[in-house]
Chains A and B, each alone.
Chain A
Amino acid sequence: MDILLILRTNKKLSMSETPLIQIRNLSKFYGAKQVLKNLSLDIYPGQVIGYIGPNGAGKSTTVKILTGLIPDFTGEVIVDGISMAKDPQRIKKLFGYVPENAEIYDVLTPLEYLDFIGKLYGMESNTLEERATKLLAAFGLANNVNDRMDTFSKGMKQKVLLIAGIIHNPKIIILDEPLSGLDANAVIVVKELILRLAKEGKTIFYCSHMMDVVEKVSDRIMLINKGEVIADGTFESLKQNHSDTLERIFSKLTGNEHSGDDASAIINALD
């Protein structure tokens, strides 16, 4: 199992002072509703960012703006010195994206799909096929390389999506609930992979509702609520200021401190 060797990563980047991703005053409206309110953040190379927040907080919107899915926004997004508004295509090359909703052309086989994705990044046929085959094998899909994905389980599709997100060896990887549907072994592999990728200098933007995983893999945790960042720091620093587990910090800061009350209300409703 060595996904990193397969990717043949570049030499480790040194932690530089200039942020890789700079977001300044980012706002986004859906009709009259403001989902992002002057969001500003800097992300440095080699960081694993745990991006968390309650449903509807603006997490997905941030991710969609970063990946170029939503082109109209106000504010500035600069990635590796390139402005998103000016040259989104060059930025997209730097990103690898594993979407949350598991959209995939499932009448294709994994190999056909990965070949297609890789070529959109301009990869050479030979490297691409070799890499795709090896990655599929590393994820335990060696026997399904030429099966159509409409017969795949959720976990198998998720593995293909993960591979599609890293196949071009991107500098920045955005993972939106990447563990959904995976079995325990695959979860261990992916968690280990995230840490190793970060060591190689990759920047990882990790969105999830699974607090225990975020707590373990992230160097820095950002909590967003109602379109604003309300906490930002290492797990240690968040602990000092707030509470002892990320779950508690989360509920305290997103205004649901009295989860005990909610539970009682639920119990009472059953009577």
Chain B
Amino acid sequence: MDKIYLKFIQLLNPVLSRTGVDTDQLYQILRIKLIIDERRPKVMFAQRQNNKKKVQSPWFVSFITVLMGIFIGLVLFLNKMPYVGQTIYFSVFMVLMSLTLISDFTTVLIDTRDQFIILPRPVNDRTIAVSRILHISIYVLRLALLQGLPGLVMIGFIDGLAAVPVFFIQILEVTFISIFLVNIVYLVLMKFVSPQKFKDIINYIQIAFSILIFGAYYLLPKLINVSILKNISILSHWFSYILPPVWITALNELLFHHERANMITSLLAIIGLVVPLFGLWLVAKVLAPGFNRRLSIIATSDGSAGTPAKVKTEGKSGLMDKIANLVATDPVENAGFRITWKLATRSREFKMKVYPAFGYIPIYFLYFTLNGKGQSLAERWENVKAGHNYIILAYLCIFLLMAALSNVAMSDRYKSAWVYYTTPISEPGKILSGMYKAILVIFFVPYSLFWGAVIVGIWGPAAINDVLLAILVGIIYGILMALFMIKGLPFSKPVMIKQSGGRIVTTLMTMILLGGIGVAHYFLMKWETVIWIAIIPFFLITWIMLHYYKKTTWESLEMAEDL
């Protein structure tokens, strides 16, 4: 596949070499970059796969992209009213493409190694700049074609064969506009934030992206009423005239639905053709040069030790100090608490894996509770408010604890954990209990209290005891999970470690236990006093279990094999 692109680019050689590009070097750089891309794990799918070394085959990634294309292509069939199907299609197309570009391609764009590998070699700036532009183009076109392929086929069935080449042009339009948008996002970010912050923000965009995809997958089918959508009249809203997907759709309306087209349609279609080209010109001529300069600043300010660039200083956190000394009094436990707190809130890898859970939980809640066929959204929400399902939300918060716990022992840089093994720690359980308390204090407890406050706000103070009990159950479940499944010091294991055999059984057992308590809680909710009383033994159990967790010995811990 990549060979075809490279061959195609070689056709451009005469033009390129006239502008001062060394075409042989260009070919080599692109070839190596494409190889690296192919061997690089993709961010979008990285969460679901555990083994980091085993890179998914490019065919699998392509397959998923095509699948996505089929999924969004289905809306094309909503073509009874003008504009509807295609406008939705191209909006989703644009959002998906821009987000994939930002979340998956940023690492490629700011590959700081280029500074040390390519720049000292006799390669001129123009060659580097062109190689970067072509690399992006190849990536984007590949994405656009795979994602648009199902749509191309479908439109052939809907509007006839002639619509296929036109649709191809429309895909190019939407692609160019996406590139333009992404460039603007990058430029704005680079202009206003420091390189370090820039990477953090990209990290947060990636997290938001995964929440969005997750939410769309679970909630859109529940929220969207197809029969209403079918009859929506897009052009009756003034703002639709400034939406790029509407301009792009206009071309199809003009050519294949003359009967409902008018002057405005032709005008929009022309805008749709001109704006993407203008945007591309703007990117190439005006934005790209500044972009490359900023990019090299990001690269150099990061990798080079000698440059006295701004160092990110971490101020003393008074709050953390106070909490740490309060909940973890033992020095070893205190150390475990602080190291977990700091690494968990600073490591991008950990955030990428755990923070999406913040968004998944309310999405799951709505997915489980917003039921009722044929009712309007407001009616369904009234049903939720009338019932006692808030307990589901309170228990779903445990999901965040699970996500944090299952990642807290793992790190790409697990080798730094040698310190635990060279220092004379006789009771590693103290570090573990410090780690566990840190996770409770920074993630689970505040998050549960937040949703607890929301619950009490909506359902009234009768819910307070339920929220408290759910938090205690969560803490107990977390200790069980930590005892039997995590078995590692904070950030001390490689991302993939062999799962020991009985683990699935223990996971299942603890899950069943959690489910059982939850169901029992649900049925006992009617009696407020029962719940209040239940809090007492659960509190004691929590306290005793923490006590035993602190006694964990070296023998029951797993460590990396290649420290």
Chain B residue at minimum C-beta to C-beta distance from A31: B308
A89 engages B117 (CB within 8 Å)? no
CB of B274 closer than 8 Å to a CB of A = no
B113 engages A69 (CB within 8 Å)? no
CB of B534 closer than 8 Å to a CB of A = no
Chain A-chain B contacts (Cβ-Cβ < 8 Å), number? 88
CB of B35 closer than 8 Å to a CB of A = yes
Option from B25, B303, B306 in Cβ contact (under 8 Å) with A119: B25
Taking CB atoms, residues of chain B closer than 8 Å to A103 are: 112-113, 115-117, 303
A116 engages B28 (CB within 8 Å)? yes
Known A-B contacts A103-B112, A107-B39; A60 and B122 likewise in contact (beta carbons under 8 Å): no
- Measured CA separation A122–B25 after assembly (Å): 7
- Measured CA separation A120–B117 after assembly (Å): 10
A60 engages B25 (CB within 8 Å)? no
Option from B113, B115, B122, B304 in Cβ contact (under 8 Å) with A120: B122
- Measured CA separation A90–B28 after assembly (Å): 19
CB-CB contacts below 8 Å: A67-115 with B: 67-70, 89-90, 92-93, 95, 97, 99-101, 103-105, 107-108, 112
Taking CB atoms, residues of chain B closer than 8 Å to A216 are: none
Known A-B contacts A116-B32, A120-B28; A107 and B40 likewise in contact (beta carbons under 8 Å): yes
CB of B319 closer than 8 Å to a CB of A = no
CB of A22 closer than 8 Å to a CB of B = no
A60, A67, A100, A119 pick with most chain B CB within 10 angstroms:
A119
A101 engages B122 (CB within 8 Å)? no
Chain B residue at minimum C-beta to C-beta distance from A107: B39
B121 engages A120 (CB within 8 Å)? yes
- Measured CA separation A58–B308 after assembly (Å): 10
Known A-B contacts A35-B308, A105-B36, A119-B25; A89 and B123 likewise in contact (beta carbons under 8 Å): yes
CB of B309 closer than 8 Å to a CB of A = yes
Option from A30, A89, A104, A112 in Cβ contact (under 8 Å) with B122: A89
CB of B19 closer than 8 Å to a CB of A = no
Chain B residue at minimum C-beta to C-beta distance from A57: B306
CB of B201 closer than 8 Å to a CB of A = no
Binary flags per residue of B15-37, CB closer than 8 Å to A gives 1, else 0 = 00000000011001101100110
Taking CB atoms, residues of chain B closer than 8 Å to A69 are: 115-116, 119-120, 300
B5 CB to nearest chain A CB (Å): 17
CB of A59 closer than 8 Å to a CB of B = yes
- Measured CA separation A35–B308 after assembly (Å): 9
Interface residues of A (CB under 8 A from B): 30, 33, 35, 56, 58-61, 64, 67-70, 89-90, 92-93, 95, 97, 99-101, 103-105, 107-108, 112, 116-117, 119-122, 148
Given A89-B123, A120-B122: 19 more A-B contacts, CB < 8 Å: A30-B307, A33-B308, A35-B308, A69-B119, A90-B122, A93-B122, A99-B116, A99-B120, A101-B304, A103-B112, A103-B303, A105-B32, A105-B36, A108-B35, A112-B32, A112-B35, A116-B28, A117-B121, A120-B29
